[in-house]
Amino acid sequence: MQSDLIPSPAEPLALVGAQEPPVSAPRGGALAELALAVGGFALGTGEFASMGLLPSAARDVGVSIPTAGHLISAYALGVVVGAPLITVLMARAPRRAMLIGLMVFFALANVATAVAPTFAPLVVARFLAGLPHGAYFGIAALVAAGLASDGGRARAVGRVMLGLSVANVVGVPFATLLGQDLGWRTAFLAVGGIGLLTAALVTVFVPVVPVTSGASPMRELGGFKHVQVWLTLAVAAVGFGGLFAVYSYITPTLVQLTGVKLSTVPLFLSVIGLGMIAGSLAGGWLADRALMASILGGLLWSAAVLALFTLASAHPWSAAADLFLVGGGIAVVPALQTRLMDTAQEAQTLAAALNHSALNLANALGAWFGGLSIAAGFGWSSTGWIGAGLAASAIPILGLSAALELRTRRRRGRRTESFALPVPRQGP
């Protein structure tokens, strides 16, 4: 049962919608949501496709696969930097103009990725491509909530975020196939094209959204003063890094350890994507019923299935089954998003973007630690142990967050008792 002191997951979304001025889409809310979801599809494809294309990119620019893992970390760090920076500095900017500008920038950065001649400019291009990621998702969620009816805000945001899940089932395998047939640079050109398509769709179908009353950089920065925000971000950054320790090196692991053909790798990537869709649906349902417990359960689940990957990766069928379970670890994300929205209070835009900063810091940490393990000679399967360790390491952080919240709850209870009126005695 949801704690009285922790708002239900519907409350932060309702608050977001309440803060956004009511607007309507002239061509229909469904088309506006679709336009926003295409942006999520572009961002998800651009982020995760780099993992499937890692070996060919490494070979082309003359670096080892663990070194090429820095490309993944560079994108992730771009998200970490860009989400809060853009959200705060552009707090008063019109929403639709922001969405269009972010997607154009994303498209150009992917074109720069495709034409980068050597490793150093390639790293810079991936960093730049990551800058608009978190800010786009945060602003898109707010716009979708503002377009929805009073009782449909959460579903509207979910439909926009579905673009990211679909990217892992369709976009990433397709980009990987495209990269194998026509070269990895072609795949990033295609991602840039989807980014430009998104900008055009947003221009046509998303209405002009007035700036929220009272929006300012200082109000958004106020979210950083809450300790629980930092602890929740730490749980996301450390705990979710486990998935990326495995995912970042999934192509060479499947080819060199599991023994599958390179042409079948996209099928395994689709399996991970299906697991992510199932995990997203289950995670939202669980977060509605027990927020903190669902975060703990998600971390325990991830630690277990990631540790199992060290054994399951030896055979194709067991690897596929375990990768579906690994993808299901994304179930913790809806609960973490809700937790951030609860704890950030008035800094709702920042909270919506910071969740993606934390998840991409997890991306960077997972790719880095996984690469260190491989480079140290522990083998491709060692990424499973690294991932399990990262997931388990987030549990003490979650425990600290829960303990501090319990202490705050008790202090509030004592203050309430101290101001309570005495109850008159009955009888003589």
Model pLDDT for residues 313-347, shown as the tens digit of each residue: 999 999 999 999 999 888 887 778 778 767 776 66
344 contacts: CB under 8 Å, gap ≥ 6: 223, 226, 229, 350, 351, 354
Residue 252 has pLDDT above 90, yes or no: no
First to last CA, the chain: 43
Q: Report the 10 Å Cβ neighbour count for 45.
A: 29
> What is the Cα–Cα distance from 305 to 297, expressed in whole angstroms?
12
| Per-residue pLDDT, 3 | 39
CB atoms within 10 A of CB 423: 6
Residue 36, pLDDT > 60, answer: yes
Give CA torsion, residues 30, 32, 34, 39, to 10 deg: -160
CA-based max dimension of the chain? 94
Whole-angstrom distance, CA of residue 366 vs CA of residue 48? 13
Are the CB atoms for 103 and 196 separated by under 8 Å?
Answer: yes
The predicted-structure confidence for 281-309, as pLDDT tens digits, reads as follows 787 778 777 888 989 999 999 999 999 99
pLDDT for position 81: 87
Asked if 149 and 18 touch (Cβ cutoff 8 Å), the reply is no
CA torsion angle for 108, 365, 222, 3 (degrees, to 10)?
120
Rounded Cα gap, residues 177 and 47, in angstroms:
16
Q: What is the pLDDT of residue 394?
A: 94
Domain positions in the chain are 10-415
CATH of 10-415, one of 3.20.20.70, 2.30.30.140, 3.10.580.10, 1.20.1250.20: 1.20.1250.20
